[in-house]
C-alpha cells in the first residue's frame, strides 16, 4: 500500500540543525511532488515547501527561504527536510505529504516527526 514513513523524534539545542527523512513505498517516488508541513503545539498547519523528486527542484514558502533545504535520494525513495539555525519556536510536528499530481491536493501523509528545540 502507498505509505510515507518518517524518521523518529528529535531533540535539538537552539542554533543546531535537524534533518527529517520521509521514506516512500507503494508508488513511483519520482512521479509525485512531496510537500513538507509543520504544526507547532496547539497551532494550525503551516506549509513549508515542496520538492520534485524527479528533478530535485524545490519551492519554499517565503518564510523558510534560506533556512530550509529539501533534498531527495531516489535510490532509496526518500525525501529529506533540513532546517537550520533552530529556535525554540521551531518546536513542532513535521509532516511530509505526497502531492496527488496537482489535482487532488495532498493525498498521503507521513505519521509526523516531533522536533523539540530546547536548551
The rounded Cα 55 to chain-centroid distance in angstroms is 17
Instruction: Examine residue 112 and tell whether it contacts other proteins (CB under 8 A).
Output: yes
Instruction: Examine residue 102 and tell whether it contacts other proteins (CB under 8 A).
Output: yes
Query: How far apart are CB 29 and other proteins at their closest, in Å?
Result: 19
Could you give the dihedral angle defined by the CA atoms of residues 12, 108, 99 and 53, in that order, rounded to the nearest 10 degrees? 60
Q: Determine which residue in the list 47, 69, 84, 91 makes contact with other proteins, applying CB under 8 A.
A: 47
Q: ∠60-99-37 over CA atoms, to 5°?
A: 45
Question: What gap in Å lies between CA 30 and CA 73, rounded to an integer?
Answer: 10
Q: Determine which residue in the list 2, 5, 61, 76 makes contact with other proteins, applying CB under 8 A.
A: 61
Q: Which residues bind other proteins (CB under 8 A)?
A: 35, 37, 44-47, 50, 59, 61-62, 95, 97, 100, 102-107, 109-112
Amino acid at each position: 500500500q502507498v505509505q510515507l514513513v518518517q524518521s523518529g523524534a528529535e531533540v535539538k539545542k537552539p542554533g543546531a540543525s535537524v534533518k527529517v527523512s520521509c521514506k516512500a513505498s507503494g508508488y513511483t517516488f519520482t512521479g509525485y511532488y512531496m510537500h513538507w508541513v509543520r504544526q507547532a503545539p496547539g497551532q494550525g498547519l503551516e506549509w513549508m515547501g515542496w520538492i520534485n523528486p524527479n528533478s530535485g527542484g524545490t519551492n519554499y514558502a517565503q518564510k523558510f527561504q534560506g533556512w530550509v533545504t529539501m533534498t531527495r535520494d531516489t535510490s532509496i525513495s526518500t525525501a529529506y527536510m533540513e532546517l537550520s539555525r533552530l529556535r525554540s519556536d521551531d518546536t513542532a510536528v513535521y509532516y511530509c505529504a505526497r502531492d496527488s499530481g496537482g489535482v487532488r491536493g495532498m493525498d498521503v501523509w507521513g505519521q509526523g516527526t516531533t522536533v523539540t528545540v530546547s536548551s
